[in-house]
Amino acid sequence: MQVRRTVFEAIIAHAKRVLPAEACGYLASSEGVVVSHRELTNLDASPEHYTMDPKEQFACVREIRKAGLQVAAVYHSHPESQARPSGEDIALAYDPAISYVIVSLADEVPVAKSFKIQNGAVSAEDFIVLE
C-alpha cells in the first residue's frame, strides 16, 4: 500500500486526537495510491475496540465513490498495543478485497502497518509513505 505523507500524518493526528479511544475511518485511493482519509466516529469510544456508525459508513463510501476514488482500507488505532490485528480485528474483517491499516501509539514514535485479512488468515503487506 502506498500512502501520501499528508494522509499518513492525518491518520496519526486523528489517532492522537481521540485518545484514549481508538480512532477509525477509511482510506481512499486513486490509481493505487492512498490520497485521502475519512474520519469516522467510534461509537464505542473505547481504547480496546471500535464500532463504526453504519449511517456514517455508508455515507462515507458513497462520498468516496462519488469523488471517483476507491475504498482502499479501513484504518483504526491501537492506543496501547502494537500495530497487528487483534482477534477481534480478524473476526470483524468483513471484506477481503480491502486492506486493514492499524496505527499503533504504543511507542514514542507512532507506527502504521497494513494487512489483508481473508477467512481468518492475516497477511502483512508493504506500507509505503510517499513524499
Per-residue model confidence as pLDDT tens digits over 57-115 = 999 999 999 999 999 999 999 999 999 999 999 998 989 999 999 999 999 999 999 99
- Return mean pLDDT, the chain: 96
Please report, as a single letter, which amino acid is at residue 92.
Answer: L
Kindly state the cell numbers that stand for 14. 486523528
49: phi then psi, degrees, rounded to nearest 5 = -165, 170
d(CA 80, CA 98): 25
Contact (Cβ atoms closer than 8 angstroms) between residue 103 and residue 15: yes
The CATH superfamily assigned to 2-130 is Cytidine Deaminase, domain 2 (3.40.140.10)
pTM of the model: 0.95
d(CA 125, CA 15): 21
